[in-house]
Amino acid sequence: MKFSLNKLTSLLQILLGAMILALSMNIFLVPFKIAPGGVSGIATVIFHVSGERIPVGVTMLAMNIPLFLAGMKIKGRNFIIKSIIGAVFLSVVIDLTEPLISRFLELVLATPSYSSEDILLFALAGGFTSGIGLGFVFKEGATTGGTDMAASLLNKVFPWVPVGTLLIVFDGLVILLATIVFKSFRLGLYSVVALFISARTLDRFLEGINFAKSLMIISRESEKIARALMENIDRGVTGLYGKGMYTDNQYMILLCVVKKEEIHKVKNEVKKIDPNAFVLLTDVREVLGEGFTSHLKS
């Protein structure tokens, strides 16, 4: 039962991510001819060139399914099945909601408070929301687009070219195609902005948003400081043996990870015990374990 529930939760997150991505495309990207690479970018170009007669979802599905099937051996059966489910759901939601959202945009953008010429905000919003949607999908070990699959397949033919490089080339070619077809260098730049924001948002989503701080504390009073951190802040402390290379003195270096709201408490505790202590703070993107985020379940 537990295993089935985990699979159901994973599937629901994939569908949620696909829905967010579909709404992002229909609200912020497709209507304004913003094509930030990938299969969705090609579908956007075809949609407008055809006079909006060829739906975006249909084009994406027609391009994605063959790529997924071709990449079955590379990515594995489980990945492909989840990706096909996400891709089909994404295409269906895009085409079903497009008429409603188009009508809504016509009404909203007709008001004086909106400018149809300032597309930068739509590129930023589209990049951010699509990154969130992709984050939900990627987190569950799936994808909704086929450019990464195409890059993986080409990498088998040209193993000396990294997959990341091939992805950049694919997205760049799609943006170049959109720039030429729409005859607008500005739209091409907006597409680059949307792609960049989407990638950064996706990275942040996958890395985790529960930022923390890692502290390394070097002090002659390391025992007292460690005791204070464990008793007063309720955080574990690890002692590492170190040596000052200039003074040749032996030190106990303390390693401690705390939540961002606890940083000032740590500083106060250290200052009270040893004002001359050397404290190094570094950003920690995600922490798994007791007192922080639970480990992912397989």
- Give me the percent of the chain exceeding a pLDDT of 70: 89
Strands lying side by side in the sheet with 278-284: 238-243, 250-259, 212-219, 278-284
**What is the rounded distance in angstroms from the CA atom of residue 238 to the CA atom of residue 245?**
21
For 34-38, 40-44, 244-248, 251-255, which range has the lowest pLDDT when averaged over its residues?
244-248
The model's pTM is 0.74
Note the helical H segments in the chain.
2-24, 38-49, 56-70, 72-75, 77-108, 120-139, 147-157, 163-182, 185-207, 222-228, 263-273
Rounded to 5 degrees, φ, ψ at 294 are: -65, 150
For 92-110, write each residue's pLDDT tens digit. Answer: 999 999 998 888 877 776 6
DSSP state letters, 30-98? GGGT---SHHHHHHHHHHHHTTS-S-HHHHHHHHHHHHHHHTHHHH-HHHHHHHHHHHHHHHHHHHHHH
Query: For residue 103, what pLDDT is reported?
Result: 84
CA distance 136 to 143: 10
* SS3 call for 188: helix
283: pLDDT confidence band, cut at 50, 70 and 90?
confident
Q: What is the pLDDT of residue 295?
A: 54
Q: What is the pLDDT of residue 251?
A: 82
Across the range 14-20, mean pLDDT stands at: 95
Q: Going from the N-terminus, what domains does the chain have, and what CATH number goes with each?
A: 2-207 (no CATH), 212-284 (3.30.70.120)
Q: Is the pLDDT of residue 90 over 60?
A: yes
When mean pLDDT is compared across 78-92, 200-214, 247-261, the lowest value belongs to 200-214
Q: What is the pLDDT of residues 45-64, one digit of tens each?
A: 999 999 989 999 999 999 99
> Is 123 in contact with 194 (CB distance < 8 Å)?
yes
